[in-house]
Amino acid sequence: MSWLLQRIDDRLIHGQVVVAWGQRLHPDRLWVADDGAAADPWERDLLAVAAPGIEVRVVSVAAMAAAWAEENLAAGGAFLIVRDLAAALALVEAGAAVARFNLGGLHYAPGKSKVNEYIYLDEADRARARALLARSVALEVQDVPGARVESLAALDPESAPA
């Protein structure tokens, strides 16, 4: 069974992940592939206890790519969370066979423009989105399970490959 959800969300573990998606899909493991969090023991400890009843593994993007195929065959279900499109693209370029990413939350920052209420992108983000789509990785915008799934390319034509 393994991969149930691969999510891009700059809040990493938070309520929508733990409560909304967690209660819907009941993952056994939650992988956070984030170089910054993986390098910080305090942050790893914080994230490890953030999702009661789910085993949390905080690893670098490179380590996630190395573990991808094994996790894909593992018993039980798993979630992946990466912080941004840069990490998502790095993971795919490192060899992880990700079929789709769920875009769940990329908040406003200076230079970013609004795609919808919870997705803001700048030109670098859009270039990464185009690179992922060119590799046939689907990019689906959906914050919670009950919301409508929309393709990023449809919502934001600048993110679509030419």
Partner 1 sequence: MNPRTPALLVMHSDLAAALMRAAEKVYGAVEDVEVLSNEGLSREEMEQAIARRFETWRDGGLVLTDFWGGSCHICGVAAARGHGDVVVVTGLNLPMLLDYLHNRDEYGPLALADRLMRKGRDSVRLHHGQPS
Closest approach of Cβ 44 to partner 1, in Å?
12
CB nearer to partner 1: give 42 or 157. 42
- For the chain, the maximum distance between any two Cα atoms, rounded to a whole number of angstroms, is 44
- Pairwise CA distance, residues 95 & 86, whole Å: 15
Q: How many residues bind partner 1 (CB under 8 A)?
A: 18
For residue 15, give the 3-state DSSP assignment: helix
Cα dihedral 83, 126, 137, 59, rounded to 10, equals -20
Q: How far is the CB of 1 from partner 1 (least distance, A)?
A: 23
Structure tokens at 158: 């600048």
Q: Distance of CA 147 to CAs 12, 16, 66, 162, Å?
A: 19, 12, 32, 28
One residue of 23, 41, 42, 148 binding partner 1 per CB under 8 A = 42
Select 110 or 157, whichever has its Cβ closest to partner 1. 110
Least gap, CB of 106 to partner 1 (angstroms): 9
**Which x/- pattern over 106-135 shows residues binding partner 1 (rule: CB under 8 A)?**
-xxx--------------------------
Give phi and psi for 156, each to the nearest 5.
-140, 85
Residue 46 engages partner 1 in binding (rule: CB under 8 A): yes
Nearer to partner 1, 15 or 111 (CB): 15
The piece of 42-50, 91-99, 125-133, 152-160 that touches partner 1 (CB under 8 A) is 42-50
Q: Can residue 35 be called a binding residue for partner 1 (CB under 8 A)?
A: no
Q: Which residues sit at the interface with partner 1, rule CB under 8 A? A: 10-15, 18-19, 42-43, 46-47, 50-52, 107-109
